[in-house]
Amino acid sequence: LGQGLLWKRTPLDLPVLCFLAVSAGSALVNDVPAIVWILGIREFTRYVILYYVVVHANLSEQFTRTLIKVLLAMALLEAGIGLLQSLLGVPFTSLFVPRAVTVGGAEIRSGFTQILSRRTRIFGTLGRYGRLGFFSAIFLLLAGGLYLSLRYRLKNLSKLAFAAFFSVVSAAVVLSYSRTSWFALYAGILVLLLLSRKIKVLLVATFVPLVATVILLSSVQLETWTVARTEEAGLAQRYIATFSSGYLEALLEHGRLFILTEVTPVIVRDFPWLGLGPGTIGSAATGGGTSSTGFLPEYSHEDQLDIYEPGIRRLHDVGWVAILAQVGILGVLAFLWIVAQLGMTAFYCYRKSMDRFVRGFSLGYLAMLAAIVLANFAMFVLSFRAISMYMWLFGGVLTLYWLRIKNGAAGAIASPSNEGPRDFARVDC
C-alpha cells in the first residue's frame, strides 16, 4: 500500500476504542439490544467519524484555514439571524420555529415551547435559545484565540472584521438569555487569558465581575425564579435571579441540582462501573430522562433507579450525569480521556507551532473545550449537533497540525521532535 493509504495513528485511537469497549460491555451486562446501544452512544459520539475523515483526508493547510474562516463567517450569519429575530419580532421569529418530530406515533423531538414576544430569547436557526447562545460562545472563543495570536500582524480591514464579529456574536450570546452560555463563555475567556499569560487582565477579568455582582446583589431585591422564567424578565433580572433563593430551591427540588445531588449518588451506589446501559436512560433513544418519548421507550431503564420525582426528567439536561447513567464511571473516564487527548493535542500545537494562525486556533480550541466541559454540567451540549460537530471537526484539524509538527513539516515546528502531545510539558516556548 502507498503511504497515503496507511492508517494514521492519532492520539484518540486508544481512548475511543476504550470507550467503545466499555459501552459495549455495559450493553452486554445490562441486556441492551444492539440498536439501542448504537442509538444511545450515537447521540454524543456521532461525529467521531468526522474527526477521522478530516485526519485521513490529509487536508492542506490552506484548505483548513479557508474552512475555519468560512465557519466563522457562518457563525456571524447565524448570530445575525438571531439579532434580526430580536429586532423584527414575532413575524420574523415564527419563520424559524421548529416543529415536533413524530415517528410511528412516538415523539422523538419535542417542538417549540417558548412564548414568542418582543423579548423572545433569540435562537437563530438552531431551534433553542441555549443552542444559539452556546454555539455563538464557542465561536467567540475560537475567534478570540485567533485575534490574540494575530493582533499585531492584522491590517486595519482585518481588525475591523474582528470587531464586527465580536460585536454581533457577543450580542447574540447576551440576547439568547442563556445563562449557561454566559458562564461558559466567561470561563473560556479566563482560559484564553491564562494560556496567553495575560495575568493582569486575567486578574481584572476575574475580580471585577465578582465585585460588581456582589455590589449588584447587595443593592437590589433578588428577583424570584418565576419572574426570571417568564417572557417579561429582562437581562438583569435573569442574571440576578440566578443567585436567588427561589431559583436555587427550584434547582434542588426538580432541576439540575436535583440531578447532581440526588440522582448521581443513586447511580454511583447501584450502577457504579457500567451504568444502566447506553441509550436506556438520559437518552433520546428511549426517552428516559428526556422531554420526548424516544424511538424505543420499551427499553428504558429509568424505573431501575427507583426515583419517581418529576425532576428525573431533567437527567438529559445534565450531560455528564446522563453519560454516567448510561455507561457508568468507566465510560465517563474513557470519554474524559478522549477530551483530555483533544486538549493535549491542541496544547502541543499551541506550544510547538511557529505559525501564529495555528497557535491562535489551538488557543481558541482549548478555551472552547473548557467551555464545553463546564457547560455539559448544565446542558447535554455534547449531544447538540451544532456543538459536537465542531468539537470533533476542529479536533481533527488540530490533529492534522499535530501530525505535521510531529513529522517535522517545514516551518511548522520550533525544533525537531518525535514526541506526542503527552510530552507538552517539556516543550520550550
pLDDT tens-digit readout, 291-324: 667 778 899 999 999 898 888 989 999 999 999 9
DSSP state of 134: H
What's the total number of domains in the chain?
1
Residue 119: its pLDDT value, please? 57
Give the cell for residue 334: 474513557
- In this prediction, residues 404-422 reach a mean pLDDT of 54
**E strands in 59-216:** 101-103, 106-109
Confidence of residue 427 (pLDDT cuts 50, 70, 90): very low
- In this prediction, residues 115-126 reach a mean pLDDT of 71
Confidence of residue 234 (pLDDT cuts 50, 70, 90): confident
Give the percent of the chain with pLDDT over 70: 85
Residue 366: its pLDDT value, please? 99
Mean pLDDT check: name the lowest of 66-75, 280-289, 386-395.
280-289
Residue 94: its pLDDT value, please? 83
Domain that residue 180 falls in: 3-426
Contact 233, 401 (CB under 8 A): no
* Max Cα distance, the chain (Å): 72
Confidence of residue 410 (pLDDT cuts 50, 70, 90): very low
Q: For the chain, what is the mean pLDDT?
A: 87
Distance CA 271, CA 78 (A): 41
Query: Comparing 80 with 428, which gets the higher pLDDT?
Result: 80
- In angstroms, the Cα distances linking 182 to 83, 187, 189 are 17, 9, 11
Distance CA 244, CA 274 (A): 37
Residue 116 has pLDDT above 80, yes or no: no
Q: Which amino acid is at 233?
A: A
Please report where in the chains the cell 460585536 appears, as a residue: 167
Residue 51 has pLDDT above 90, yes or no: yes
Alpha carbon of residue 294 to chain centroid = 23
